[in-house]
Every structure is written in structure tokens, then in C-alpha cells.
Structure 1
Amino acid sequence: MDRPAHTRLPDLPLHRLDVPLPHLLPFAIGTFDSIGPLSRAAFPHRHTFYEIVHVTGGSGAHVLDLVRRTVEPPQLCVITPGQVHHWADAEELTGNVVLFDEDFLLPHTDDAAALRRLAGRPGHPAGDQAAPIAALLADMATEARDLPPGHHGVLRAYLHILIARATRALGPTDAPADSPAPAHDRAAEAAAAFGRLLCEPGGVSRPVGWYARQLGMSAGHFQTLVRRATGLSPGSLIRRQQTLEAKRLLSGTNMTVRRIANVAGFSDPAYFCRFFRRETGMSPGEFRTWAVRMHHDPRTESIAGHPDGP
């Protein structure tokens, strides 16, 4: 893989979780109104934190990594760190927004993998989990507001239950086929750690051997574990992430193709253009034109319907 010596951060707005005193928790919960206007931002942006949204009313669409889904309450939307999303033509959105960072998941390490599977969709119906989830979110909001003794543990337990109910609402047949199921084994742990490293700034610019060293194993053993857990080689997953990152930047920024190539892990823009066409069937310029048209005209076919979509 061709890679630059240094990778600059992309020009997409990056939102960080800023929880005011006296909480001192990497966690926040509220309505769209109480969290603030950025909770319904209409411009493409990414987070350093996780977001779970339970939409109970309103109209418009949620666009997550170029996949557009009409708002059909009650609906769940999950956004993981590094994903690019925005709300399109949203009006009168109501519901609850839960924000938290990776540290808040430490007691339940499988939850990070579950959230990545849920984030494979821009939104899915809450189904028969809508009422239990609404009640659970009300309890979480009360706990976060009152901060009684032991609230740290209670909020983490509530979050674990919320993720389980969101997964139950998605259903086994709706989960992305290439997402490994949670498992307490070395292969699943290695694949999950690899996935987190890939989503870090500059993650796609690193060779397979770098990830193996970070995880304290040989390159061969790392390859075996990742393929066992995902069915794909680490190189294939890196190429998939490079393509997705390039799509995000082509559709959400005015960065030049040369700079996007650099951020996506290529020092040679010409090679990047050949790579992108091979992976998507379009040149970077053609894809940007298509993405701009899709953003301004919701009748344009979503990337979800494109055979080369993410």
C-alpha cells in the first residue's frame, strides 16, 4: 500500500464531547433541543464520540456515510467515531440523544462491536423495542440529571441495556453480512481492536504490519485472526476503509483530489485515482459530481442502492 510520511486531518467539522461540570462524565443525554442545534446539524460532520438517537417525531432524512434514510419514527440512529453524517431537510425532530465516548464502554467491551454493526445503517425502526427504549431513556435522563450515589455504574448498565435493545430491534436478518457477531475469543477481540485503530485519524495510511505490532502479535497471526473473525484479510478491510474515507471527503469537503489521496493513504494521486475507479467504478471527480447531485436532490438514488456503495 502506498502511504505518505505524514497525514493531515481532513477538513470536515470534528465535534468533540464537551460535558460541563458538575458531571465530569464522558456521557450526556437529552432531547434535540436540550443538547443543542448541533444535534440536528444539516452539514456533514464527524464525531470523536458515539451517538445514539431515538427519533420519536418529525420529518426529513438522516444521511450516514452517504446512505440516506427517510425519518420514520420511532427510529434508531447510531453514529460511531469517525463516521460522517447530517440531517437533511429535518423539521420538528423530537426524541432523545445519547452521547458518550469509548471510556464509557469499558465495563462491556462487546458493546463497541455491537455499535459498529448498528452504525451500518443510517436508521432502523425501533419496532417492538420502541416503548422499552423510551422508558429506559427516561430513566437514564433522570439518573444523569440527579446524579445519585453510584450513578456512574447505573448509567453504564443502562447504556449496555440500551445497546442490547437497539440490537434486538435491528434483528439478525438486518445486520450487515460482513459484521462479525460478538464473541469472547481472541479473533473477535483482535478484529475489534483493528477496527478501532482503522477509524483513528490517519489509520488508513498505515501498513498491515503496523497494526500487528500495535496489537502485540506477528503479522501472520494477525492476518489469521482478522480473517477468522471477519472473513476478510486486513488488507481488504484497509482498502474498504480507504474507499469509504475518500467518499466521505469527496462528498463532504472541497479538498483537492491530491489532498484526499494523501489523507486516504496514497502519496501518488494518479495511483489513488486508479484505485478509486477500481473500487467504485467512478473517478473521484465523477463521484463528487454524483454526491453533490444526491445531496441537493433527494430523488437521486442513494449510495445504498449503488453496487459499489459502502
Structure 2
Amino acid sequence: MHKTPASAVPVFKLYGETASWPTPDLIHCESIPERSRQHDWEIKPHRHGDLVQLLYVQGGTAELEVEGVVHPVRQASLQVVPALSVHGFRFSQDIQGLVLSLALPLVEQLGAVLDSPPLARAACYPVAGQKRYLDALFDSIAQEYSEQQPGRELMLQSLISALLVWVGRRSLALAHAEAQTPDRGREHLQRFTRLLEARFREHRPIEFYAAELGISAAHLNALCRRLAGQSALQLINQRLLLEAKRCLVYTAMTVNQVSDSLGFSEPAYFSRFFKRCSGQSPKAFRSQR
């Protein structure tokens, strides 16, 4: 797959679509062949602003590209696609599997009880000897999703919680393996991401984050561009924009209240920021959803 410029990457509401979700759930589940067959077995690069996806390849082969990293899949694997990650997929015609889309509020609610957010980083986990377990788990999720049984929402959240625990354990195992060959730059980026999550409402300059990390602003910018494909300022603005979108979609706050909650000095400044980053005003964004 060739790399697509970020400015040309469409933002989709769901897996390859701009329309709203077909159900009121914070969960969407469908088979990989059901969707990819409509697109000649290839999903062009795109990204989602407010949802996370888990793509479970059970059979067949695939090329899964997330943030410029391509994973050739020849065995059962689970791909995590965080919100705002640019991703595209190419599948063989005998592909088997499921794609699970989760709205960010649900991801945060279920992940809050875990030590670290298991879906915050892109990763492709080979299933190996646990395929039978994951097959049964995804089959149960798909069946529960397609039916309207009593306690459906609770059951879905319970099944997805079990899946998040599995992903979290694999993530910890991967982090342990990476610790054997540490990359100082990745450590700085991870610390920057954690700092940003805690302080993005304060509108701190890049120099503040760099000082907290003990490096120069130029070094931080270089790390962000090398490892995340964007400048530090772009990452800061994207985090603010993501939170603004979530507030506009999932809360009843007015635009002024959203502006205040995100630390903007004036609602007009917030509206200009939102329009510059998203291409539309906060009110227009909310009305479309």
C-alpha cells in the first residue's frame, strides 16, 4: 500500500462509511467479508475520530496497515486500531473474521478498571494457541449483538470486557519484550502521550512538555514526526479536537460550555480552532450527527 497524505485521508464514522451508526449501540459488529466484498477486498486508508476497532482475522490472508506500519497476516491475528489512526486493509477473497467497532466512551468506561488502556496503541497480536478461545468469544459477541435478548447490553459489555483483558495481557507481554531492547525515543513519546492526556486542557506550549521530558522542543518535535508521523503541536491539537467532538456528540453541553471545559479563554477562539482543525463549526458538526 502506498502512503496517503494525512490531508487526503477521509474520516469515517464507521468501517468505510460516513453515515451514522445503524444502531443506537456504542458497539458495532460485522463480518470482514461482508464489508470488504463490497470494496473489492480492499479498504482504502481512512481514520475514525471517535471509535476504536478490533479486527479479528480468523482465516485467509491480509495486509493490515495502521499508521504506516504494514502487518502481513498469514495466521489468526487480532489488530487493534486506535481512534484517529490512519489505517487501510487488503484481504484475500477467502478471508474469514469479524470487525468490532467500539465508541470511545464505552472503551474508556470498560478500560478504566484496567491498569493501562489496552486499546490506546496500535498493535497486531498473533493468536497462536488461543484461537479456540477467541473464536468462541467473538462468536458470542456476534450472536449477542445480532439478537435482542434480555440483558443484551450487559452481556455485550461483559464479553467485550473479557476481550479487553485478553488484549491487555498481550499488550503487557509485548511491552515486556520491547523492554529487552529499549528505544529511548519511544519512551519519550509514551511519556509525552501520558502528559498530554493529563494536561491537554491547560493549553501548555510544546516547550512545557519538552521540559517535563528533559529534552528540547526541537527533539520532541522530531520524535513525534518520526514515530507518530505528526508534529507535537498537531498531536496536541488533535487531542483537543477529539475531546471537543466527543463533548458535542455525547453530551448536552452548549458550545460555550464545551469551550470552557476545554480551557479556551473565549468561545469564539474555540469555534475558530474547531473550524480550522475540522473544516466546520462546532454547531454544524453537532447538527450533522
The TM-score with structure 1 as length reference comes to 0.55
Aligned residue among 11, 15, 21 for 2:8:
11
SS of equivalent residue, structure 2 residue 44: coil
Contact 2:195–2:209 (CA<8 Å) still a contact in 1? no
190, 193, 211: which one pairs with 2:200? 211
**How big is each residue's C-alpha offset from its partner over 1:153-191, in whole Å with a ceiling of 9 and x where there is no partner?**
221221121121133345614565589xxxxxxxx9995
Q: Give the drift of 1:139.
A: 1.1
| Residue matched to 2:143 | 142
| Relative contact order higher in (CA < 8 Å, ≥ 6 apart) | 1
Q: Post-superposition shift, 1:90?
A: 3.6
Residue number among 115, 123, 126 corresponding to 2:119 in the alignment: 115
- Cα distance, 1:99 vs. partner? 0.6
The residue number in structure 1 matching 2:254 is none
Does the 8 A contact of 1:129 with 1:166 survive in 2?
A: no
Tell me the residue number matched to 2:153. 152
How much has 1:87 moved relative to structure 2?
A: 1.9
- Structure 1, unmatched stretches of 5+, are 1-8, 180-187, 198-209, 248-259, 266-310
Structure 2: which amino acid aligns with 1:116? A
State the distance in 2 between where 1:68 and 1:194 align. Answer: 27
Which stretches in structure 2 are left out of the alignment for 5+ residues?
1-5, 15-19, 184-189, 237-289
In structure 1, the residue matched to 2:28 is 28
Tell me what 2:125 maps to. 124
- Identify the residue that residue 63 of structure 2 maps to in structure 1: 61
From 48, 52, 55, give the equivalent of 2:54.
Answer: 52
CA distance in 1, matches of 2:77, 2:53: 14
Q: Give CA deviations for 1:58-84 in whole Å, capped at 9, x if unaligned.
A: 123212212122112211111011111
Instruction: For residue 97 of structure 1, report the CA deviation from its aligned partner.
Output: 0.8
- Provide the identity percentage: 18
Write out per-residue CA displacement over residues 228-253 of structure 1, whole angstroms, 9 at most, x where no aligned residue.
xxx98998666544445647xxxxxx
1:81 aligns with 83
Shift in CA distance, 35/61, structure 1 to aligned 2, threshold 3 Å:
closer
Q: Structure 2: how far apart are the matches of 1:190 and 1:241?
A: 9
Contact in 2 for aligned 1:35/1:97 (Cα 8 Å): no
Which residue number in structure 1 is paired with residue 164 of structure 2? 163
- Residue 238 to residue 154, structure 1, CA distance change in 2 (3 Å): farther
Coordinate RMSD, CA, aligned: 4.1
2:24 corresponds to which letter in structure 1? L
The alpha-carbon deviation at position 113 of structure 1 amounts to 2.1
Secondary structure, aligned partner of 1:166:
helix
Q: Secondary structure at the match of 2:200?
A: helix
Alignment partner of 1:115: what SS?
Answer: coil
Report if aligned partners of 1:16, 1:47 keep a CA contact under 8 Å in 2.
yes
Aligned residues of 2:210 and 2:216 also touching (Cα < 8 A) = no
> What is the deviation of 1:19?
2.1
CA separation of 1:194 and 1:38: change in aligned 2, threshold 3 A: farther
Q: How many residues in Structure 1 have an aligned counterpart in Structure 2?
A: 211
